[in-house]
Amino acid sequence: METLLLWLFYISSFYAFIPGIISRLFGYRVFRKGTGGQEFALTFDDGPDPQYTPRLLDLLNKHGAKATFFVVGSHAEKHPELIRRMHAEGHLIGIHNYIHKSNWLMRPSTVRKQIERTQDIIYGITGERSTYYRPPWGIVNLFDFSKRRQVKIVLWSAMFGDWRKKLGAERLTEKMLARLNPGEVMLLHDCGMTLGADPEAPEYMLSALERTLEEAGIRGLRSIRVDDMIKAAEKSPLSRMSFGRRLLVGVWLIWERCFHHMFRLRTVTPNLPFLHYRLREYQGKTVTLDRGMALNKGDRIIEIHVDNRQLFEFGMQSRSAAQLAIRIIRRMDRDLPVLAGIVARDESLAEAKALYGVSMINRGPEKFGFAVKDLPEGLFARLTKFYLRILLSVIHPAGGARLKERSEALVPKIIAMPVSQLLDTYGQRCAGTKLRKHQDAAAVLEDDLTDEELPGAHAH
């Protein structure tokens, strides 16, 4: 009996669990997220629903937004008028099986019939065959990968739990706004009749979505169909990335999330993360800062980290190191005044001696007021250099080739700034004078950058 159970475990792992992990973590043979631009994708599962889908379509039309509907075939069969309206109003219609049942619980032939039956229903209503597929709950099995020539599997990058009414419109809005970024593929539901969902939940989703679309308009973001996002992504460097490099990026980003959790990093701008920070005691050798100040072992510092996921995305969107550097400069220029405001309002942060980080740079941070110092030789310096070289090979537009050029310049350095200087320089940015002064400094740096100089690439 134990042998039989063991074999069942092996088979189920090979058939279901391992493919699911590979697709979720590394995006293998599935589409999960777009890149760059000012576009994001709204996707809706489980419909159409006669009560909520018409209101959703009205809302999308009001804001000029396009979306992708992954419809359940049996629901589409009952409400063909809603499928016709989706199609007529320019939305993409995808497949979500004929019934909402996990692919792990069906044989490969049954899954194929579910897809084909739903595909035939969509074709019979719209005259077009759908080639985009989202398995229920996003659960893929081993044989789903073999359908690549017939359908494109689409998962998501942002899920909010909007099928539960206890989440409420306010909390759902907060979660959606926190993930309102270019390239995001948002998962929402326009039907609450699925097992485990609350029938009234789409009411709260519609309220949160309206506020999200209003904010998207303010930020200059727009919702597009998944197929348009895929076409744009296929033109990006990410689409040409080898599976080995994708694996490296996936593992690296998992480590990033673990690091943030372990060390309880806080984020300067949670809605669009770039700078993270934590308060701790300095443990290194004495470092001389500006204003005649020295940083000694035991002094309290605000340690800063650049968001590596953002660095990776910037790298994928940039055609050169100079363009990548300019993106980083602009984000630093935006986040440092916000950080100054946070520090000014938090007594424990304001009492810290310095803002501190480690970065692989040649020049750049000094334009923002940081002192740039050599990292003392030792095990920490060697490990940091090794880590940052891997990081740079991932985010740099030239990839690993960058490491072969001027490798002697790729050394980690300390960047530090007295907290008093942070507050003086950035605390009054809204006053105008210092804002213009700092913008001029950033402009000089942009003009001065070459492909051999890359500010950023901060270590953990």
Question: Which residue type, as a one-letter code, is found at position 225?
Answer: R
- Tell me how far apart the alpha carbons of residues 266 and 264 are, in angstroms, rounded to a whole number: 6
Rounded to the nearest 10 degrees, how much is the dihedral formed by the CA atoms of 336, 337, 339, 344? 140
- Tell me how far apart the alpha carbons of residues 173 and 433 are, in angstroms, rounded to a whole number: 36
Strand partners, 186: 42, 158
DSSP string, 152-179: EEB--SEE--TT-GGGHHHHHHHHHHHT
Rounded to the nearest 10 degrees, how much is the dihedral formed by the CA atoms of 33, 384, 269, 345? 170
Q: CA-CA distances (angstroms) from residue 8 to 4, 12, 318, 438?
A: 6, 6, 47, 63
- Tell me how far apart the alpha carbons of residues 179 and 217 are, in angstroms, rounded to a whole number: 15
Active site residue 451: no
- Tell me how far apart the alpha carbons of residues 219 and 213 are, in angstroms, rounded to a whole number: 10
Q: Find the catalytic residue in 75, 79, 96, 189.
A: 189
At 93 the three-state DSSP class reads strand
Question: Of the candidates 428, 414, 416, which has an alpha carbon nearest to the alpha carbon of residue 291?
Answer: 416
Active site residue 58: no
Structure-token pair, residue 414: 């300390």
Surface-to-core class of residue 385, CB atoms within 10 Å of its CB (0-12 exposed, 13-18 middle, 19+ buried)? middle
The residues that are catalytic are 45, 189
